[in-house]
Chains A and B, each alone.
Chain A
Amino acid sequence: MAIPENQTTELRKKNLRLMWLLFGFALMVLLTSFPFWIGMFRIVGDQAAG
Chain B
Amino acid sequence: MTTTTMTHDEAHHHDAPTGWRRWLFSTNHKDIGTLYLLFALTMMFLGGASAMLIRMELFQPGIQLLDPDLYNNLVTNHALIMIFGAVMPAAAGLANWMIPMMIGAPDMALPRLNNLSFWILPAAATMLLLSFVVPFFPGGGTQINTGWTLYPPLSVQVGMSMDFLIFAIHLLGISSVLASINIIVTLLNMRAPGMNLMKMPMFCWTWLVTAFLLILVVPVLAGGVTMLLFDRHFGTSFFDAAGGGDPVLFQHLFWFFGHPEVYVLLLPSIGVLSHVIPTFSRKPLFGYNSMVGAMLAVATIGMVVWAHHQYTVGMSLGAVTYFMIGTILISIPVGLMIFNFIATMWRGSMTFETPMLFAVAIVLMFTFGGLSGVMLAVVPADMQYHDSMFVVAHFHYVLMPGAVFGLFAGVFYWLPKWTGHMYDERLGKIFFWTNVIGFNITFFPQHFLGLAGMPRRIVDYNVMFTEFNVLSSIGAMIFGLSHLLLLYIVIKTIRGGQKAKSRSWEGATGLEWELSSPPPFHSWTVAPQIK
Partner-B contacts on A (CB < 8 A) = 1-9, 11, 14-16, 18-19, 22-23, 25-27, 29-30, 33-34, 37-38, 40-41, 44-45, 47-48
Contacts and interface: CB of A to CB of B under 8 A. Distances in A.
B11 to A, nearest CB: 5
Contacts of B243: none
B215 interface: yes
Interface stretch (B109-117, B394-402, B408-416): B109-117
B111 A34 contact: no
B179 to A, nearest CB: 12
B2 interface: no
A19 B249 CA distance: 32
A29 B223 CA distance: 9
B219 A23 contact: no
B188 interface: yes
B220 interface: yes
Interface string B237-260: 010000000101100110010000
Give the one of A8, A44, A45 with max B CB within 10 A: A44
Contact of A29 (B185, B219, B253): B219
Contact of A33 (B105, B182, B220, B318): B220
A37 B27 contact: no
B9 interface: yes
Interface residues of B, number: 54
B256 to A, nearest CB: 8
B227 interface: yes
Contacts of B248: 41
Contacts of A4: 9, 12, 27, 105-108, 111, 522
A23 B178 CA distance: 8
Contact of A1 (B6, B7, B27): B27
Contact of B13 (A2, A15, A37): A2
A5 B249 contact: no
B12 A5 contact: yes
B190 interface: yes
Given A30-B223, A41-B246, A5 B9 contact: yes
A1 B188 CA distance: 24
B385 to A, nearest CB: 22
Contacts of B17: 2
Given A3-B11, A48-B319, A34 B227 contact: yes
B177 interface: yes
29 contacts: A2-B27, A3-B9, A4-B12, A4-B107, A4-B522, A5-B8, A5-B522, A6-B7, A6-B105, A6-B524, A8-B6, A11-B189, A11-B190, A15-B110, A15-B189, A15-B190, A18-B184, A19-B181, A22-B180, A26-B181, A29-B215, A30-B223, A33-B224, A33-B253, A37-B224, A37-B249, A41-B249, A44-B319, A48-B319
A5 B106 contact: yes
B185 A22 contact: yes
Interface string B516-531: 0000001011010000
Interface in B1-49: 6-9, 11-13, 17, 25, 27-28
Contacts of B215: 22, 25-26, 29
B314 interface: yes
Nearest to B219: A30
A46 to B, nearest CB: 10
Given A3-B27, A19-B182, 13 more contacts: A2-B12, A2-B522, A3-B111, A4-B12, A5-B12, A5-B522, A9-B9, A11-B190, A22-B185, A22-B215, A30-B219, A33-B253, A48-B315
Interface in B216-274: 216, 218-220, 222-224, 227, 238, 246, 248-249, 252-253, 256
Nearest to B215: A26
